[in-house]
Structure formats: C-alpha cells, structure tokens
Amino acid sequence: MTDPVRLQHCRALGLPADQILIADDVIAAWRQANLRWHPKRPSADPVRHQAAQTAHTYLLEHLDPPALSTQDIPVNSSLPLLHHPEPLPKPSLPTVKPPYSIRHHNGTDKLCLELRIPLRRLVEGDRIQFKHLNGKEYGLTVPPSTWGGTAELPSLGLTPADPLLIILCPLFPSKIPLKARQLISQGLALCDETEAHSLMLHELIPALTK
C-alpha cells in the first residue's frame, strides 16, 4: 500500500507514487513545477509552489533504495545470482581473397590491396588499373622514381568512411636472385629521400630491368 504522505508529495510534483524514484526524477519534476507555479510567473500559484517545494525536499530525503545488482550480492547470499550478460561479439570482418587482405594498420583494421608491379613501370611512372571488390575499375597514378610504398584511396575501404590501402610491391625480373632483390630493396629504403636514392633509381634499376 502506498504511503499517504509519499502519495501527497508525488501528486504535488506530478510523479507516480507507485514507481521507484531517483534523485534526477525528483529534481526534474521540481524544476518544472518551479517554472510553472513560481510567484513571479504569469501562472503563479503560491500554494502549489510551496507544496512542490515541500515535496521536493521530502522526496529527496526519502528516495527509494537502488535496485540490487549481481555485483552488490554478497558471496554467501542466498539470493539467486542473475546471469551475467555476455560481452557483445566483435563485428566480423568480411572475407576477402588475394590480392586483397585485411591488415591492422595504424591502430585500425584496413582493407588492403597488394599490387605487384614490374619495377620498370614503377621507376618510369605509370597508370595502374585495378578492379575493386565492388566490381568497379579504378586507377592509381604512380609518379616517376617510385620503387614501392603505400597509398590510400578514400571511401574504398571496409566502410564508406575508410580508405583503401594500396601496397605497391616491385616485381623484379626473374633473372635477379632473391637475395639480390632483398639487398636492392634494403638499399633503396636506406637511401630514401636522398641523392643516393635517386641515383639508384635512375642508374642501377633501369640497368637491372632491361
């Protein structure tokens, strides 16, 4: 049975007396009543304003106890433990096939496309065409003196807000052994953005790609 005093104060603030009330509920109702019945308002009603103010004070001092959660239940409590909710599963990433892949890059999962381009085309500069997973054809302009690296194409990633990460991989002629390819790539990486790098691209690489 509802406490008649509580019922009276709840009515003064327009709150349901048969429901659990928290401080935010009482404060919000008091603000509405204060705006409506304040003596300086056009709709002033001093009696109702005083009743609302009294109700506000009483209800805040007699708030309902918070609902008991599973974390509040003592270990030796006889109360039945509620089922702990399972964590939400991580959204599954789409399945892609080479040359596409999904890689963790700069803290996020990105859709990547690995393009293996003959070294001569990279060094001399070229327009690289590729087919996206959406079935459309796109192109990437490779400037001269390129030997590899990455590029991002906006709005072509896993979502419309994500870029597609292009990975340019130099394709060496078959006559160049693997060890030599590794040494050339390491040398170019060490010489990046220097005159030595430019010299290797314009003198060494063309000779190797004849």
Q: Is the domain covering 100-208 a CATH 2.60.260.20 domain?
A: yes
Model pTM score: 0.47
- Tell me the residue ranges of DSSP E strands in the chain: 100-105, 108-118, 126-131, 137-142, 149-153, 164-171
What are the sequence ranges of the domains in the chain?
4-61, 100-208
Q: 4-61 with 100-208: one CATH topology? A: no
Can you give the pLDDT at residue 100? 92
Q: Is the domain covering 4-61 a CATH 1.10.287.110 domain?
A: yes
Which two three-digit tokens encode residue 189? 């990486």
Sign of CA dihedral 147, 150, 155, 160: positive
Can you give the pLDDT at residue 54? 92
The tens place of each residue's pLDDT in the chain, 210 residues long, gives 568 888 888 899 888 888 888 888 888 888 888 888 888 888 889 899 899 999 989 888 888 765 544 444 444 444 454 555 566 565 566 778 888 999 887 788 889 999 888 877 877 778 888 999 888 999 888 777 676 778 888 989 888 888 999 988 888 777 778 887 777 777 766 665 555 555 566 566 655 555
Residue in this structure with the two tokens 């007699």, named with its chain if needed: 62
